[in-house]
Amino acid sequence: MKVAATPATPTDRTSVTTDGPLISVVLPMRNESRNLDRLFERLVPVLERIGSYEMVAVDDGSTDDTLDRLKQLRDTYPNLKVVSLSRNFGKEIGVTAGLARTSGRAVVIMDSDLQHVPEGIPQLLIPWQNDGYAIVYARRVGLDRGGFVRNLLTKTFYRMFDFMSEVKIDRETGDFLLLDRRVVDAFLAMPERNRFNRGLLSWAGFKTTTIPLATAARHAGTTQFGFLRLLRLAVTAITAFGTLPLRVWTYIGTLFSLSGLFFGAYISVRTLIFGADVPGYPSIIVAVLVSAGIQLIGLGIIGEYLGHVYSEVKRRPLYLVQETVGFPDSTPDRAPLLNLDLPLAPDMNWSDPEI
């Protein structure tokens, strides 16, 4: 079977840089209907002052009227383009779907709930324009995301990620950032389904800087990142960027076996000297529970990685687009994976002996 020797690289892909606007803004949104008016009222004047721009709103399977409202808003804001996904794919993938349709020389990614203040965009542009930075992160200032427990868990996540992963991420930065077109191309060339965007960007490298920007409270509605969703993202992040959680079980297992052996030797010697004694239930029960628990954790972690491998080998598309509004017909969807040159084209020559 003939398979393309190398997967598509950014240079293989349709170039969109020549006649695109200066700035694209990607706005992932799920059920943000009540924030839209205010968002565009504040965002558009800022962009008008900057120069040519487009706004790519990604409707990530909203169940309210976000999509209809976006379509209506196009009458007022002709530079607004809409990508509607076929269901909720999650924010990381929503952002990817937006990036795949942008054509600006730089792309700003920001939340749609006005937590990322639109007035901060010109500040993100300065290091890109003046100093050639390819990634400019807004560093969160004055952000308290909700109580002691969430802050503690966030801190724990960053510690674990730092310790276990092969890439580094800055814990002060969030998802309000500017990317140079080169970085967007590199990002879109990364084919994995299990995506943690900040990790992927860090892996890509490029000249990166951060600038301080105030973060506001959500304009309307409530956060969609509850505890379980954040936990899912944290596990994806950690398992997608390192194999330490997999490998560590060899050492833990060795430690447990050795301590078991030593304890066994100690008991034997003690029995020879002092004779057998009956007590010891609690210690046996504790030992059984702890070792069973540890084995289950180990199995669970193997399961996490296996799950990732499974979802990768299924080779499903990263997302499905149900509808787009406002794009010229020629705008390609540069989703990761779509352009891989696999021998599955309908015009394949089935009589080719090499197939």
Point out which residues bind Mg ion (CB under 5 A). 111, 113, 115, 218
Contact call for residue 92 and ligand UDP (CB under 6 A): no
Contact call for residue 32 and ligand UDP (CB under 6 A): yes
Nearest Cα neighbor of 55 from 89, 78, 85, 71 is: 78
DSSP states along 75-127 = HH-TTEEEEEESS---HHHHHHHHHTT---SEEEE--SSSSB-GGGHHHHHHH
All residues at 6 or more sequence positions from 306 whose CB lies less than 8 Å from its CB, including other chains: none
Contact call for residue 111 and ligand UDP (CB under 6 A): yes
In whole angstroms, how close is the CB of 223 to ligand UDP at the nearest point? 3
In whole angstroms, how close is the CB of 330 to Mg ion at the nearest point? 34
Contact call for residue 129 and ligand UDP (CB under 6 A): no
Tell me the β-bridge partners of 26.
56, 109
Candidates 160-168, 178-186, 221-229, 274-282 — which segment interacts with ligand UDP by CB under 6 A? 221-229
Contact call for residue 154 and ligand UDP (CB under 6 A): no
In whole angstroms, how close is the CB of 303 to ligand UDP at the nearest point? 24
Say which entry of Mg ion, ligand UDP, none residue 224 contacts (CB below 5 to 8 A, set by partner kind).
Answer: ligand UDP
Candidates 157-165, 222-230, 257-265, 319-327 — which segment interacts with ligand UDP by CB under 6 A? 222-230
H helices of the chain, where? 33-50, 66-76, 91-99, 121-131, 147-164, 181-188, 197-204, 227-240, 244-274, 281-313
Three-state DSSP at 249 gives helix
Contact call for residue 224 and ligand UDP (CB under 6 A): yes
H helices of 117-243, where? 121-131, 147-164, 181-188, 197-204, 227-240
Contact call for residue 52 and ligand UDP (CB under 6 A): no
**Which residue in this structure is represented by tokens 């499903």?**
316
Quickly count: other Cβ atoms within 10 Å of residue 151's Cβ: 13
In whole angstroms, how close is the CB of 113 to Mg ion at the nearest point? 4
Contact call for residue 115 and ligand UDP (CB under 6 A): yes
Candidates 27-35, 239-247, 278-286, 292-300 — which segment interacts with ligand UDP by CB under 6 A? 27-35
Binding site for ligand UDP (CB under 6 A): 28-30, 32, 60, 88, 90-91, 94, 111-113, 115, 218, 223-225
